[in-house]
Amino acid sequence: MIPLEDNFNDIIGKAQRGYELSDEQLAQQAGVSVSDLNRVKQGDFDESVVRKLAPVLKLNADALVALGKKLWYPKDPGIIPGLAMFTTTYEDMTVNSFLIWDPKTKAAVAFDTGADASGMLKLAKDQGLSIQLILLTHTHPDHIADLANLKTATGAKAYVCELEAFDGAESFAAGKRFSAGDLQIETRQTSGHAHGGITFVVSGLSKAIAVAGDSIFASSMGGGMISYDDALRNNKEKILTLPDETILCSGHGPLTTVGEEKKHNPFFA
């Protein structure tokens, strides 16, 4: 079981930073003491304090409490033919990359590289897959750390949103479509955590898939490092409008679905 990327206190911290509230401002608006706020932010779960903080931070209190009590984890979507996730260690964290392929033609697409693409390359070799494209959700170092190796090993071109253009990849504008075998891939701009954040919506397998990078996680989302408002809005408008059964492949944490996040993600529930 891959751990959730964020605990309840991480979510509180992300929302507090997003709304640019000092500890004193947040405590005052929530009617709690600064010491109680700091205790909760350090991971000491106190339901009464968390429920007072949630509305000030525009978080769903029930979903936040469920995380604090460790009562929720996304349902396992099971094996999806044509989809594989790779979790590698980068510095003090783990990061996900994905390989999606057309089971009939064996044409495959890599999404990000993680810290080490060797597992992806081994699976492609073992399954007789041809990696034809490398699509990047954004350019934070943990997501493109092994790009040069993956490009050399596959001969595939890498593509990145024009808002984060760099010499190692060809740039594209959001809205561009890619294809590989019977796979069709739509690109949606989901900036906020990153300037050029892209969610790739893939059709052609038994279930619809959205590779979202750090735009959204199971029960959380990437911090609004560029714009918290944009991160919230893009997730709501570009990801959570997809069908509920769509599998969400995030840059950190386990697989989830749009339906699960609409019910259990404190930012959106």
Whether pTM exceeds 0.75: yes
Question: What is the edge-to-edge ordering of all strands in the sheet holding 83-90?
Answer: 83-90, 93-101, 107-111, 130-135, 157-161, 170-172
Q: What is the torsion angle, in degrees rounded to the nearest 10, for the CA atoms of residue 199, residue 203, residue 206 and residue 208?
A: 30
Where the chain has pLDDT below 70, the residues are none
What is the model's pLDDT at position 1? 86
Total residue count of the chain as it appears in this document: 269
Question: What is the set of domains in the chain, with CATH numbers?
Answer: 8-68 (1.10.260.40), 83-264 (3.60.15.10)
What is the model's pLDDT at position 157? 98
DSSP character for 9? H
In single-letter form, the type of residue at position 61 comes to: A
What is the model's pLDDT at position 231? 98
pLDDT in tens, 116-126: 999 999 999 99
pLDDT in tens, 64-91: 999 999 999 999 999 999 999 999 999 9
